[in-house]
Chain A
Amino acid sequence: MVDSPLLTPLYHWHQAQGAKLVPFAGWQMPLQYAGIVAEHLHTRSAASLFDVSHMGQLLLTGRGADRALEQLLPGDIVGLAEGRMRCSLLTLSHGGILDDLMVVRLPSQEAESQGAVSRLHLIINAARRQVDEAHLRAHLPPDVQLEVLSNRALLALQGPTAAAVLAPLSPKAIDLPFMAAAELMVGDIPCLVMRSGYTGEDGFELSCAAENAVALADLLIAQEGVLPAGLGARDSLRLEAGLCLYGHDIDEQTNPVEAGLVWTIAKHRRDDSQGFLGAAAVLSALKNKAAAGARQRVGLTLAAGNPPAREGAVIENLAGQPIGVVTSGGFSPSLQLPIAMGYVPADVAAGGVQVVVRGQRYPATLTLLPFVPNCYVRPTKP
């Protein structure tokens, strides 16, 4: 049986914009409009509009929803203030990563006799929707309700002029610092506005009712300097920003420590080996992250003029011994040279290596991530 592809509410909008549509994680999505490099560079210099409605949106509600979710991930959710959001990882009992996700704490609601009810808006990867939903249903207690928000769209407005573009349409939105969220009107469309993204640039992600998605896209694209961008640019932008792509750079066999995602493990949760699913394995990896056999996610650059080292390319030391594999790689439009991410032993995570592309060896340099500095708008300390 061949399932027909899923379509976002903007499918016909993409066609009208001249998008090249391709299958992705069961969805028919825009790969590009004007071209990946042009869209990439426009996002770094102005603002681009991305349809990311294929991502899953879930609502968790219940008095103990925050505490219950903390049993499944290493982040601080109980301490997450209303209107703030956090990137986290659903972990498995052996310490692997089930998915990476965004957790947004919406304002609590007062319910009769229950007191304050936590409301958490989750954004999960398209390819992990069924897996995550089953995992959450299996592990969350019965007094936490899980609602799949299947009638919502998600648009991302990304780039250095994103705030200036949004200011006249949603004046309060631009007061949000990075990783803050609020339910606001954008024009006359109610949205959950989040100051976040997957490009390394300042920007916003806007969740709205599916029925308003076309109107929201039309409104944003009509603003000066805003152009549509597809999944191709989204991938090259996130690679430059050093951000992981689930199923490539992280998966069920990767632990958060080797993936360089220790920052997702809340400081006060690093001593409790029963604190969350897989805590014993994750915390053991944290203690032993420099031990023999430990791997580390690293960046690689090749000199301009060399071929891109793509996913699966073997990384060798200068003696020609295989030491790792590229998990994401391509051409950096900003730097005009090939960049990649991959895993190598933690004790060689710097210096010169070589990568094998179609049987040929090319020199590469292990580097810190990101390749292109992030430009997030950090909250100002009072």
Chain B
Amino acid sequence: MKYYTKEHEWLELAADGIATVGITDYAQKQLGDVVYVELPAIGKAVTQSGEMAVVESVKAASEVYAPISGTVVAVNQDLPANPALVNSEPQGAGWFVKLQLSDEGELAKLLDEAGYQTYLASLS
């Protein structure tokens, strides 16, 4: 199941309780060409809405917030050499981190697909 934040991060929860996290297509379009991604160390604890990563486009650096609290169990090793994956496949090969959730109850604070689409529609 896929969840979203109003800050345009996405989270996909697998059956093993590990969540893959990235930024949405809307976010990458707003950023433009991504040239650098700063990822957290494996083992780092992140808190919901707290700083998790930094994504840099040609024109600016932007914070990426953790959509949910947890521990970083993996980071996308392809991003340092190929940050443009965030533009080309933001919700696939351009993922940022995998998190072991610490509180599944926080999922209730996130948007589902329909809720996120409604939110996007309200922005335009």
> A235 — which chain B residues lie within 8 A by C-beta?
59
| Set B35, B54, B81: member contacting A331, Cβ < 8 A | B35
Any B CB within 8 A of the CB of A307:
yes
Number of chain A residues close to chain B: CB under 8 A:
20
Q: Is A35 an interface residue (CB 8 A)?
A: yes
Known: A35-B33, A36-B33. A305 touches B80 (CB 8 A): yes
> Of B32, B61, B80, B81, which is within 8 A of A308 by CB?
B61
- Given contact pairs A305-B81, A338-B35, a sample of 16 additional A-B residue pairs in the complex whose CB atoms are under 8 Å apart: A36-B32, A36-B33, A36-B59, A37-B32, A37-B33, A37-B58, A232-B59, A236-B58, A306-B36, A307-B56, A308-B56, A310-B61, A331-B56, A338-B36, A358-B54, A358-B61
Q: A31: CB under 8 A from chain B? A: yes
Q: B58-71, CB under 8 A of A: which get 1 and which 0?
A: 11110000000000
**B36: A residues at CB distance < 8 A:** 306-308, 331, 338
Question: In the complex the two chains form, what is the Cα distance from A235 to B60 in whole Å?
Answer: 12
Binding site for B on A (CB under 8 A): 31-32, 35-38, 40, 232, 235-236, 305-308, 310, 330-331, 333, 338, 358
B12 part of interface (Cβ distance < 8 Å): no
Partner of B58, one of A232, A305, A307: A232
Count how many chain B residues have C-beta atoms less than 8 Å from C-beta atoms of the other chain.
14
Question: CA separation between A55 and B17, bound complex, in Å?
Answer: 56
Question: Which residues of A have CB within 8 Å of B57?
Answer: 36
How far does the Cβ of B58 sit from chain A's closest Cβ, in whole Å?
A: 4
In the complex, A307 Cα to B56 Cα: how many Å? 8
In whole angstroms, how far apart are the Cα atoms of A338 and B61 in the complex? 13
B54:A36 contact, CB within 8 angstroms = no
Cross-chain contact B59 with A330 (CB below 8 angstroms): yes
